């Protein structure tokens, strides 16, 4: 086992190890993830969020042990990096990797559980949501600031932003951190492509485009047309992927 624990939580080492032993049968499930399992556990009034990553195939198990950092380790290290740069994410507590001779058998990322939050999706897809436009603008400012710091948050989907209202202002916390890319500088096309997974709703894209244009010095029309184009291409690729998956399943059944 490779167990790396933040010094701020060193007193909880045995508690975390005990939770891992009982992870399957205890804890409160968070969300409805099909790939990974997320639960929180309470220890002395503090809630810890455990993300158990889906078991990899034999090739990836080997890769994540010998050639590439595991998803749990990347999540932990990226969380620390984001905090160092002034961004927000639930405080990283630990990452754990279990191995055999072939590779990684299981891995976990542990962070503090956030309470009294809502997701970006709650605001995006409810036209009557309070301060909706302000929240969308705040989200756009966050993505722009990530880009200014050379960071592409690949899993830029509405469920990966937790929002908490603090002293009348909305604070955005990034989650699902294991996929990021880093650059010295990011050109405008790559920046706008980063929105391709978020939504196909033209009204929302228009709001994002106007705010990103203001921040980047581009025109709203330029940003809008770019984002819409990238979103359509992404949607088409996903549609083709679903069709191929369906036919593959159908052929197996014959």
Return the CATH number at 167: 1.10.510
- The Cα–Cα gap between 196 and 181 comes to 16
- 178 near 78, Cβ under 8 Å? yes
Q: What is the pLDDT of residue 74?
A: 95
CA-based torsion, 13, 15, 17, 23: positive or negative: negative
Domain span at residue 15?
A: 2-112
Q: Is 52 helix (H, G, I), strand (E, B) or coil?
A: strand
Q: Is there a single domain that holds both residue 233 and residue 122?
A: yes
Q: Using the 3D structure, point to which of 112, 146, 180 is the last residue of a domain.
A: 112
**Cα separation of 160 and 157, whole Å?**
6
- Report the range of poorest mean pLDDT among 33-42, 137-146, 190-199, 208-217: 33-42
Number of domains composing the chain = 2
pLDDT at 120: 97
Question: Based on the domain organization, do 137 and 219 belong to the same domain?
Answer: yes
Verify that 124 and 233 share a domain, yes or no. yes
**What percent of the chain is predicted at pLDDT more than 70?**
94
* Domain assignment of residue 193, yes or no: yes
- What does the pLDDT read at residue 240? 75
Per-residue model confidence (pLDDT) at position 105: 82
> Which residues in 46-195 belong to E strands, given as ranges?
46-52, 92-99, 104-112, 118-119, 151-153, 161-166, 169-174, 180-182
Q: How many CB atoms lie within 10 A of CB 189?
A: 9
Q: Give the mean model confidence (pLDDT) for residues 123-132.
A: 95
Residue 216's region, left for phi above 0, alpha for psi from -120 to 50, else beta, is alpha
For residues 52 and 24, what is the distance between their CA atoms, to the nearest angstrom? 10
Give the pLDDT band of residue 251 (cuts 50, 70, 90).
Answer: low
- Is 194 a member of any domain? yes
Helix (H, G, I), strand (E, B) or coil at 172: strand
| pTM greater than 0.85 | yes
What pLDDT is stored for residue 103 in this prediction?
A: 82
Residue 31 pLDDT class (50, 70, 90 cuts): confident
Radius of gyration (Cα) for the chain, nearest Å? 20
Q: Do residues 198 and 119 make contact, with C-beta atoms less than 8 angstroms apart?
A: no
| Residue 249 belongs to some domain of the structure | no
User: What is the per-residue pLDDT for 33?
Assistant: 64
């Amino acid at each position: 086992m490779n167990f790396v624990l933040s010094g701020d939580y060193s007193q909880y080492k045995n508690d975390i190890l005990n939770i891992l032993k009982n992870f399957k049968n205890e804890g409160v499930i968070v969300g409805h993830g099909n790939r990974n399992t997320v639960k929180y556990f309470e220890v002395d009034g503090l809630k810890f969020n455990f993300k158990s990553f889906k078991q990899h195939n034999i090739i990836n198990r080997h890769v994540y042990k010998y050639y590439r950092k595991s998803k749990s380790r990347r999540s932990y290290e990226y969380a620390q990096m984001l905090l160092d740069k002034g961004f927000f994410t639930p405080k990283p507590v630990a990452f754990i990797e279990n191995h055999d001779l072939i590779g990684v058998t299981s891995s976990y990322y542990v962070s503090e559980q956030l309470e009294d939050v809502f997701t970006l999706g709650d605001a995006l897809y409810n036209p009557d949501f309070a301060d909706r436009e302000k929240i969308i603008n705040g989200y756009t400012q966050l993505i722009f600031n990530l880009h200014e710091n050379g960071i592409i948050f690949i899993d830029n989907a509405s469920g990966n932003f937790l929002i908490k209202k603090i002293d009348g202002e909305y604070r955005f916390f990034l989650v699902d951190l294991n996929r990021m890319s880093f650059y010295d500088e990011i050109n405008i096309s790559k920046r706008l492509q980063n929105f391709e997974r978020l939504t196909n709703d033209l009204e929302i894209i228009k709001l994002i485009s106007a705010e990103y244009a203001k921040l980047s010095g581009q025109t709203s029309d330029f940003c809008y047309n770019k984002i819409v184009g990238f979103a359509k291409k992404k949607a088409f690729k996903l549609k083709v992927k679903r069709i191929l998956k369906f036919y593959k399943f159908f052929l197996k059944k014959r």
